[in-house]
């Protein structure tokens, strides 16, 4: 028993050390300023939104949809590794304390996330009718118990190797969580949410009894841990170099038309490489698309011109920071060094490609800004972006590249 607990503590410390090691690069001064800006802007418009709500406004459906998502998501952090298939598999029946520690750690982390979500949505709930802070505390208590049941059921179902059961579980739990949340926030008769709660409780008990004698689905648990850490590594890789951050390139033939315009010349070799890497690997294309959509959403609701221009600059800046690792994407592939291309051409090609991506995103956001508000605001945002990010690319990024050679 002591050896198992010691193993869990060791795994937890290793995981925490890894997160602290790279987390300090993520939470740098640049990101802190951006987060503070968006929190202040968001708080201001949230307050304006609440003050403009009609008296009969019912935000319970929206709150239920959001809260149900956070109640449903999440798996137990087991810290399992590939070697455990050999070393821990024979000891599976002795891992009850290990799993218990992992469960309570996960539950505590998920509780803090739920607390933040409910805290953000509480003003909207309080603006509906005669709701009080005591109601919020009662709802939070019930949702905390519901979260525990969801996590417990997720752990039980993780023993099934069939993927279909996992999908059905997520869908069905989301529906039950949404119903419980809706009945609580709409202040329906207690029998409604109690009945739905008992359905969730019975399902949890059923899956626990059905799976308690099943062996762990080790491959699935290890895969979940790898995906969780890889998500963190990819985020951290946007701010610092992390070796061996693997990804699965996707062919995406439908995007080949975008690279057909690149000439087949020797000095365009790296242009082809960076373009195909951007489109097929590392999540770079998805990053640009997501930030562009979120930026467009913010531009739609921001009413003043200066704030819109700053928003365009901030979203393109976030893209720029997270695209910088593209320069080192193939750094650990030795065969790249066989290209008969000078380092100077490689650098110039990357900087040009990097600036084209940023200019393209700035153009898209500026056009949307012109459509949502005034054409002048869009023109000013685009000109500002070109100036700022030309200097950013050929001063800051180039300096960073030469420093890391």
Residue-wise pLDDT for 368-395, tens only, equals 998 888 889 889 999 999 999 999 998 8
DSSP reduced 3-state for 391: helix
- 115 and 205 inside one domain: yes
Domain presence at residue 285: yes
Encode pLDDT of 270-299 as tens digits.
Answer: 767 777 878 777 678 878 888 888 888 888
Instruction: Count Cβ neighbours within 10 Å for each residue of 254-271 and write b for 16 or more, e otherwise.
Output: eeeeeeeeeeeeeeebbb
Q: Residue 181 sits in which domain range? A: 2-233
- 62 and 133 inside one domain: yes
Task: Judge residue 152's burial from the number of C-beta atoms within 10 Å of its C-beta, 0-12 exposed, 13-18 middle, 19 or more buried.
Answer: middle
* Sequence-distant (≥ 6) Cβ neighbours of residue 140 within 8 angstroms: 114, 115, 118
Domain presence at residue 242: no
Last residue of a domain, one of 204, 233, 262: 233
Whether 110 shows a pLDDT value over 70: the answer reads yes
- 269 and 226 inside one domain: no
Report the alpha-carbon distance of residue 270 to residue 343 in Å, rounded: 10
Q: What pLDDT score does 187 carry?
A: 85
More confident residue, 67 or 34: 67
**Helix spans in 27-57 (H):** 29-51
- Stretch 303-319: mean pLDDT, rounded? 83
Domain presence at residue 342: yes
- 271 and 199 inside one domain: no
Total structural domains within the chain: 2
Whether 238 shows a pLDDT value over 90: the answer reads no
- 65 and 122 inside one domain: yes
State the number of CA atoms in the 13 A half-sphere of 1 facing the CB. Answer: 3
- 199 and 306 inside one domain: no
Q: CA of 275: how far to CAs of 255, 270, 325, 326, in Å?
A: 10, 8, 14, 10
Domain presence at residue 322: yes
| pLDDT tier, 19 (very low <50, low <70, confident <90, very high otherwise) | confident
In total, the chain counts a number of residues equal to: 405
Domain presence at residue 305: yes
Domain presence at residue 75: yes
- 169 and 25 inside one domain: yes
- 85 and 170 inside one domain: yes
Structure-token pair, residue 93: 């029946």
- 228 and 267 inside one domain: no
Q: What pLDDT score does 206 carry?
A: 92
pTM over 0.85: no
- 181 and 287 inside one domain: no
Last residue of a domain, one of 233, 262, 282: 233
- 181 and 270 inside one domain: no
Domain presence at residue 240: no
Domain presence at residue 244: no
| pLDDT tier, 119 (very low <50, low <70, confident <90, very high otherwise) | very high
- 220 and 319 inside one domain: no
């Amino acid at each position: 028993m002591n050896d198992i607990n010691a193993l869990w503590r060791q795994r937890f410390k290793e995981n925490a050390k890894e997160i602290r090691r790279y987390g300090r690069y993520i939470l740098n001064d640049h990101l802190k300023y951006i987060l503070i800006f968006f929190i202040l802007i968001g708080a201001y418009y949230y307050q304006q939104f609440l003050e403009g709500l009609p008296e009969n406004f019912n935000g319970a459906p929206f709150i239920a949809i959001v809260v149900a998502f956070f109640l449903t998501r999440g798996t137990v952090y087991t810290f399992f590794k590939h070697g455990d298939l050999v070393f821990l598999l024979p000891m599976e029946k002795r891992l009850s304390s290990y799993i218990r520690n992992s469960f309570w750690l996960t539950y505590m982390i998920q509780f803090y996330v739920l607390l933040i979500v409910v805290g953000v949505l509480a003003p909207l709930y309080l603006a509906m009718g005669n709701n009080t802070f005591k109601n919020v505390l009662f709802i939070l208590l019930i949702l905390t118990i519901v979260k525990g049941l969801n996590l417990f059921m997720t752990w039980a179902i993780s023993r099934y190797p069939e993927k279909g059961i996992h999908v059905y579980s997520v869908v069905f739990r989301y529906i039950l969580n949404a119903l419980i949340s809706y009945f609580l926030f709409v202040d329906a008769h207690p029998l409604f949410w109690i009945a739905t709660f008992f359905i969730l409780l019975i399902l949890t008990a059923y899956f626990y009894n059905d799976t308690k004698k099943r062996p762990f689905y080790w491959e699935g648990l290890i895969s979940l841990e790898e995906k969780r850490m890889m998500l963190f590594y990819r985020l951290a890789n946007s701010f610092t170099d992390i070796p061996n951050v693997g990804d699965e390139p996707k062919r995406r033939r439908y995007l080949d038309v975008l690279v057909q315009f690149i000439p087949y010349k020797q000095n365009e070799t790296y242009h082809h490489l960076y373009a195909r890497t951007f489109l097929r690997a590392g999540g770079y294309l998805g990053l640009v698309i997501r930030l562009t959509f979120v930026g467009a959403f913010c531009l739609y609701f921001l009413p003043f011109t200066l704030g819109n221009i700053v928003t365009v600059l901030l979203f393109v800046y976030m893209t720029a920071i997270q695209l910088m690792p593209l320069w080192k994407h193939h750094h650990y592939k030795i065969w790249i060094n066989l290209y008969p291309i000078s380092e100077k051409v490689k650098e110039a090609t990357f900087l040009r490609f990097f600036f084209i991506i940023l200019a393209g995103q700035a153009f898209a956001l500026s056009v949307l800004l012109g459509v949502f508000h005034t054409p002048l605001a869009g023109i000013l945002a685009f000109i500002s972006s070109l100036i700022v990010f030309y200097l950013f690319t050929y001063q800051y990024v180039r300096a960073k590249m030469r420093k890391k050679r």
